[in-house]
């Protein structure tokens, strides 16, 4: 497994980013005075929760694609794209917390990173199956 240490590091950084977003949600709860389990009532809280939850929605697609791309194509390219995804998620979260319409740039960055990872892995696996493992 030592050959995948860069992708392992990026995986942990992605999870730490998600953890940081959870802390941001807690901070927004304190600022708004709205305790769990309530999730509405303050626009800042609602945007912070939504950014955090949207990251959770993307994590399975990102993590599986990241690892499959690393295995079938290149660990370093996968790790680099993983860093791009993390930057995109941070841009998305910070933009969304400021105003919902400011989340778009971060969304596009992270979505493109996942698209390359996903379709790159899918293409390589499909090619391998079609050519008998080449």
Do residues 89 and 17 make contact, with C-beta atoms less than 8 angstroms apart?
yes
| H or E element that contains 62 | helix 43-72
Q: Which candidate in 29, 47, 89, 103 is catalytic?
A: 103
Q: How far apart are CA 69 and CA 81, in angstroms?
A: 10
Q: How far apart are CA 101 and CA 89, in angstroms?
A: 15
Spell out the residues 6+ positions from residue 95 whose beta carbon is closer than 8 angstroms to its own: 102, 103, 104, 105, 106
Do residues 61 and 110 make contact, with C-beta atoms less than 8 angstroms apart?
no
Q: Which candidate in 5, 29, 30, 89 is catalytic?
A: 30
**89 annotated active-site:** no
**50 annotated active-site:** no
Annotated catalytic sites, by residue?
30, 103
């Amino acid at each position: 497994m030592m050959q995948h240490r860069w992708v392992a590091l990026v995986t942990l950084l992605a999870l730490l980013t998600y953890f940081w977003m959870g802390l941001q949600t807690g901070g927004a709860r304190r600022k708004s005075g709205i305790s769990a389990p309530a999730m509405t009532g303050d626009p800042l809280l609602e945007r912070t929760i939504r950014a955090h939850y949207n990251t959770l929605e993307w994590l399975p697609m990102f993590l599986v694609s990241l690892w499959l791309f690393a295995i079938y194509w290149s660990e370093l390219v996968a790790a680099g794209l993983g860093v791009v995804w993390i930057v995109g998620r941070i841009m998305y979260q910070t933009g969304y917390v400021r105003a919902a319409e400011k989340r778009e740039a971060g969304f596009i960055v992270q979505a493109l990173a996942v698209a390359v990872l996903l379709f790159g892995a899918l293409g390589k696996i499909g090619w391998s199956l079609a050519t008998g493992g080449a």
